[in-house]
Structure 1
């Protein structure tokens, strides 16, 4: 996967606009505040929902595998995207802001 463009979590602001390709239950458990939810399986049909950014668009999943596949595919479609190294697990470990989670509980990475 070394040919996939990537970015470290520490190089992203807490409020970064990014695409989260995890499943709905993972998204509901907790996600980055600036994330747009486009599950990997829905991506081809919803490609027009990708947010426009001035820089490479970060794509994230739980650990980096699914988002790596998404980035690979999106690059082939001509999009300027990067994989978030370590995914939401790395985001959480870095102490970055998260929203979501069950009522009354802190967001987590599912």
Structure 2
């Protein structure tokens, strides 16, 4: 069984002058976590993504984490940032999966969407 686990979180404040490029979705790295780095960062944390990882492991699944992105509340998300995150999730799903876990939060607005 192949399970895709992805996180994409942002609470957009349309009145905020603070831009939200892709780099704001990374907490301690230059870019959002992907793959093994995401697995190591979230496994065993008790977070939504961590819980998804634990459940998938219990089921003996192959785990694919195309992106784990979380930004503090700020202004609209840059279109290229949204595209970067969404494309990784879509490509992972298109490659085939038996289950998809999405750890989502917020009300995301982009520069044009």
TM-score (norm 1): 0.28
Normalising by structure 2, report the TM-score: 0.28
Please tell me whether Structure 1 or Structure 2 has the larger radius of gyration of its CA atoms. Answer: 2
Give the number of the structure whose residues are more often strand, by fraction.
2
